Copies of this chain bind each other. A is one copy, B any other.
Amino acid sequence: MPETNRQVRLKSRPDGIPQAAHFEIVDEPLAPLAEGRFRVRNRFLSVDPAMRGWVSAEANYSRPVGIGEVMRSFAVGEVVESRHPDYAVGEHVMGLFGWQHFADSDGRDVVRKVVEADLPLSAALGVLGLNGITAYCGLIEVGQPKPGETVVVSTAAGSVGATVGQIAKLLGCRAVGIAGGPEKVRLCLEEFGYDAALDYKAERDLRGAIAAACPKGVDVYFDNTAGAISDAVLANLAERARVVICGTASVASWNPPPLGPRVERQLLVKRARMEGFLFFDHAARFEAAVAQLADWLRAGRLRHREEILDGIEQAPGAIAGLYRGENLGKRLIRLA
């Protein structure tokens, strides 16, 4: 076992999207494992849009990562040492283990044990992890789609969006994707099976294009972007529509909140609902969600993409790249 633990720590607090310069890489000696804890050797680190919020000083759903602290992130790895009765050496676990090679845990930061030994370990961070569970719980529990309804998804080719679109199809809905650029639109149509896909960068009248793609209106909008894309979707809501607010990727800064068209009248007239979704609130459904997603994956009914970067040195600049839209698939850092 190596004697040091390479970590990515937050060096300064970003105003907006975190860049590589906001982090530093540090080698920390590994201390002896304390009683009641176990040690995880991380195999894959996750890179997620939500991490922008985790380092923001603005009011958020969790305490901001402190300056000098290891960057909070999901990771998956194996238990390499244990002084905890519930975790045995050799088990695989997924949780908030941070951007580092080794994490000592008392179990509270574990999301789940990874029991799908027949599936690649990396899937536990994407289609069977944060992204897949977010798609599944957000769409089904908050969006409550019914067969025949129209589901619109923003960042439709992304790790969450592509899963939402495919689940919508599996549930018998019409799925319409919104993505940026012809390559992502092609992915939506050819790989993820959307009924229609719109390129928001190319459409001169996105609102009209959505209306044409959703002739009966939008019953469920799974919103990963906020901003102008959402304005165009909200103008096309069907009666009793449900808007799942899952992410705000298109808005660079919320301090102060930018201005946009007021939504109250449209929500009233359509008796529509907007509701924020947060992964951590749905822990009671994680195992059921993963079991269903894994079944679909094994049956070849659910596709997913990964973009794997090698080495923890890739991590600091990896969040900003997400916001530039440069990745095609779930972005992961593979550790040796």
Interface residues of A (CB under 8 A from B): 53, 59-61, 223, 226-227, 230, 239, 245-248, 251, 254, 256-278, 281
Q: Are A223 and B273 in contact (CB under 8 A)?
A: no
In the bound complex, what is the Cα–Cα distance between A53 and B268 (angstroms)? 11
Subset of 19 A-B contacts with CB under 8 Å: A60-B269, A223-B264, A226-B265, A227-B262, A247-B268, A248-B264, A248-B265, A251-B264, A257-B262, A257-B265, A257-B266, A259-B260, A263-B274, A267-B274, A268-B276, A273-B273, A273-B275, A273-B276, A274-B274
In the bound complex, what is the Cα–Cα distance between A256 and B273 (angstroms)? 21
Q: Are A262 and B268 in contact (CB under 8 A)?
A: no
* Identity of the chain B residue whose Cβ is nearest the Cβ of A271 in the assembled complex: B276
**Cβ of A303 to closest chain B Cβ, rounded Å:** 27
* Identity of the chain B residue whose Cβ is nearest the Cβ of A234 in the assembled complex: B257
In the bound complex, what is the Cα–Cα distance between A259 and B260 (angstroms)? 5
In the bound complex, what is the Cα–Cα distance between A261 and B267 (angstroms)? 16
Q: Are B264 and A59 in contact (CB under 8 A)?
A: no
In the bound complex, what is the Cα–Cα distance between A227 and B265 (angstroms)? 10
**Cβ of A226 to closest chain B Cβ, rounded Å:** 4
In the bound complex, what is the Cα–Cα distance between A289 and B262 (angstroms)? 31
**Cβ of A137 to closest chain B Cβ, rounded Å:** 12
Q: How many copies does the complex hold?
A: 2
Q: Are A276 and B281 in contact (CB under 8 A)?
A: no
* A263 cross-chain contacts in B, Cβ below 8 A: 257, 263, 274
* A277 cross-chain contacts in B, Cβ below 8 A: 268, 271
In the bound complex, what is the Cα–Cα distance between A48 and B226 (angstroms)? 34
Q: Which of B226, B269, B276 meets A61, CB within 8 Å?
A: B269
Q: Are A268 and B256 in contact (CB under 8 A)?
A: no
Q: Which of B60, B248, B275 meets A272, CB within 8 Å?
A: B275
In the complex, given contacts A245-B268, A254-B262, A271-B275, what are 16 additional A-B residue pairs having Cβ atoms less than 8 angstroms apart? A53-B269, A61-B239, A61-B268, A226-B262, A226-B264, A230-B264, A248-B264, A251-B262, A254-B265, A257-B262, A260-B260, A267-B276, A271-B278, A272-B275, A273-B276, A274-B275
In the bound complex, what is the Cα–Cα distance between A267 and B265 (angstroms)? 17
* Identity of the chain B residue whose Cβ is nearest the Cβ of A274 in the assembled complex: B274
* A273 cross-chain contacts in B, Cβ below 8 A: 273-276
In the bound complex, what is the Cα–Cα distance between A43 and B130 (angstroms)? 61
In the bound complex, what is the Cα–Cα distance between A196 and B230 (angstroms)? 36
**Cβ of A14 to closest chain B Cβ, rounded Å:** 16
Q: Are B276 and A270 in contact (CB under 8 A)?
A: yes
**Cβ of A52 to closest chain B Cβ, rounded Å:** 11
